[in-house]
Amino acid sequence: MNVCQTCGACCASFRVDFHPAELAGGAFAWGAGVPREMTVPVTPAIVRMAGTDATEPRCVGLAGEIGKIVNCTIYDGRPSPCREFDTEHSACNRARQRCGLAPL
């Protein structure tokens, strides 16, 4: 199992903003794209994954329990910020620390 499947900290730490063209049906959607109803509009050029700017952030797309077992329910269509974030990202351990998880 990939370490990210036992973590999920980055999905519960940072705002996830992207261009509306990555929404389902958009010109730059990955796979099925991001369902519009899982996002909130920010500006005409930015939408945000719902839940990621809450006081206790948690993306609405995340299922499971942080630090135990998680999965992204829209994995194939997840937006570009999520595709660019992995264990090599400089903020990975910051997210893990925030969620009380040991650094990798």
Tell me the backbone φ, ψ of residue 63, rounded to 5 degrees. Answer: -110, 150
Kindly tell me which residue out of 1, 50, 82, 98 binds ligand SF4, with binding defined by CB under 6 A: 82
Binding mask 33-52 for ligand SF4 (x = CB under 6 A): ----------------x---
Distance between CA atoms of residues 99 and 90, nearest Å: 16
Query: Taking a C-beta distance cutoff of 8 angstroms, is the pair 36, 24 a contact?
Result: yes
Q: Which stretch binds ligand SF4 (CB under 6 A): 18-26, 40-48, 56-64?
A: 56-64
Q: Is 61 in the site for ligand SF4 (CB under 6 A)?
A: yes
Question: 16: closest CA among 40, 48, 44, 46?
Answer: 48
Q: Which stretch binds ligand SF4 (CB under 6 A): 17-25, 40-48, 70-78?
A: 70-78
Distance between CA atoms of residues 5 and 8, nearest Å: 7
Write the DSSP symbol of residue 81. H
| Site for ligand SF4, rule CB under 6 A | 3-4, 7-11, 16, 49, 59, 61-62, 72, 74, 78, 82, 85-87, 92, 95-96
